[in-house]
């Protein structure tokens, strides 16, 4: 029988520690704040301080309530280390609640009114999404940034230039919104309209100032839905009139009343919020340092 002498921690035999690669003379081999027996119990690996590689050591994750085995505890595609340690780029981020960050630039002095932005934030705050800390809803963080050069007609090249010159939070997990004043966007191949209320794809959206404040708010909400991943590819009621508003109660439908802001929940044939809870699109975080 192996010796049961245990010179470092309470209840691991030296033989077992040899197998695990831990040091029998110390209680916390990887010095991450969790002692070796606790790591064995939690399957966090007693020889690696940050087992999920998210920039936070295992012991600190246990005290914060984040999951040491999941680099993105709340599933918003911002890693725990960035949410906890990079408050400069992500002010107000919470590793236990879903967060979405937007940067808004604008042309001329065109703007979305605060009253409209408040309604939109309320939709997210009261969303039927459950967070790891037991709370509901999503925190929508909005940064109003700078004025961009005005173009009466925006070509693809000009749009690319704006994205490379004016998108300050590029690579930090932000969605980018440009509010455009009476700007004509390039015609899409499958659409004969030459003037758009807005346009949106993963990560980038535009909203034009062609109508009243209320319409700006609902167009903003619709295009933001596209940026977050709600596209016609995932449900045929999106950007279409095929499903009635009763069956798909969402601003993403073309049957939606002019003044309706909401995304659909479980009462509809397709739940936008359930989809976002599981599949939220978050732009690249390549410029985010997790731990600085």
Nearer residue to Ca ion within complex by CB, 32 or 277: 32
* Alpha-carbon separation of residue 111 from 115, 144, 170, 264 (angstroms): 11, 9, 21, 27
Residues 6 or more apart in contact with residue 221 via CB below 8 angstroms: 120, 123, 251, 261, 263
Q: What is the number of other CB atoms lying within 10 angstroms of the CB of residue 149?
A: 10
Nearer residue to Ca ion within complex by CB, 92 or 113: 92
Least distance to Ca ion from the beta carbon of 118, Å?
Answer: 21
Nearer residue to Ca ion within complex by CB, 128 or 161: 128
Least distance to Ca ion from the beta carbon of 93, Å?
Answer: 5
Nearer residue to Ca ion within complex by CB, 23 or 54: 54
Least distance to Ca ion from the beta carbon of 86, Å?
Answer: 12
- Residue 43 C-beta-side C-alpha neighbours within 13 Å: 3
Least distance to Ca ion from the beta carbon of 258, Å?
Answer: 33
Nearer residue to Ca ion within complex by CB, 38 or 161: 38
Least distance to Ca ion from the beta carbon of 174, Å?
Answer: 14
The torsion defined by the Cα of 52, 55, 61 and 63, in degrees rounded to 10, comes to 170
Work out whether the CA dihedral 26, 28, 30, 31 comes out positive or negative. Answer: negative
Measure the CA–CA gap between 39 and 6, rounded to whole angstroms: 17
Nearer residue to Ca ion within complex by CB, 72 or 116: 72
Q: Which residue is nearest to Ca ion (CB)?
A: 99
Nearer residue to Ca ion within complex by CB, 36 or 223: 36
Least distance to Ca ion from the beta carbon of 88, Å?
Answer: 16
Least distance to Ca ion from the beta carbon of 141, Å?
Answer: 10
Return residues touching Ca ion (CB under 5 A): 28, 30, 32, 34, 50, 52, 54, 56, 72, 74, 76, 78, 83, 99
* Alpha-carbon separation of residue 281 from 7, 136, 173, 226 (angstroms): 50, 19, 10, 9
Angle subtended by helix axes 213-227 and 114-125, to nearest 10? 40
Nearer residue to Ca ion within complex by CB, 99 or 116: 99
Measure the CA–CA gap between 50 and 242, rounded to whole angstroms: 49
102, 177 contact by CB (below 8 A):
yes
Least distance to Ca ion from the beta carbon of 273, Å?
Answer: 16
Q: Coil, helix or strand for 176?
A: strand
Measure the CA–CA gap between 252 and 219, rounded to whole angstroms: 9
């Amino acid at each position: 029988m192996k010796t049961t002498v245990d010179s470092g921690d309470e209840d691991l035999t030296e033989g077992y520690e040899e197998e695990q690669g831990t040091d029998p003379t110390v209680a916390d081999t990887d010095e991450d704040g969790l002692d070796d027996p606790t790591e064995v119990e939690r399957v966090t690996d007693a020889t690696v301080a940050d087992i999920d590689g998210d920039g936070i050591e295992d012991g600190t994750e246990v005290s914060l309530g984040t999951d040491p085995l999941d680099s993105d505890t709340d599933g918003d595609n911002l890693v725990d280390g960035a949410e906890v340690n990079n408050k400069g780029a992500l002010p107000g981020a919470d590793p236990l609640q879903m967060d979405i960050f937007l940067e808004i630039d604008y042309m001329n002095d065109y703007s979305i009114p605060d009253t409209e932005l408040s309604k939109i934030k309320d939709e997210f705050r009261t969303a039927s999404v459950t967070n790891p800390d037991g709370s509901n809803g999503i925190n929508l963080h909005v940064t109003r940034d700078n004025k961009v050069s005005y173009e009466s007609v925006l070509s693809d090249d000009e749009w690319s230039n704006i994205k490379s010159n004016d998108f300050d939070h590029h690579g930090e997990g932000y969605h980018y919104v440009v509010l455009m004043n009476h700007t004509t966007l390039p015609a899409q191949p499958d659409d004969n309209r030459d003037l758009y209320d807005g346009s949106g794809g993963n990560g980038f959206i535009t909203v034009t100032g062609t109508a009243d404040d209320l319409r700006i708010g609902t167009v903003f909400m619709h295009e933001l839905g596209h940026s977050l991943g709600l596209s016609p590819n995932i449900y045929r009621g999106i950007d279409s009139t095929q499903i009635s508003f009763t069956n798909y109660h969402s601003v993403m439908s073309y049957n939606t009343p002019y003044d309706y802001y909401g995304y659909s929940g479980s009462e509809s044939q397709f739940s936008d919020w359930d989809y976002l809870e599981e599949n939220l699109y978050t732009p690249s975080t390549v410029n985010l340092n997790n731990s600085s």
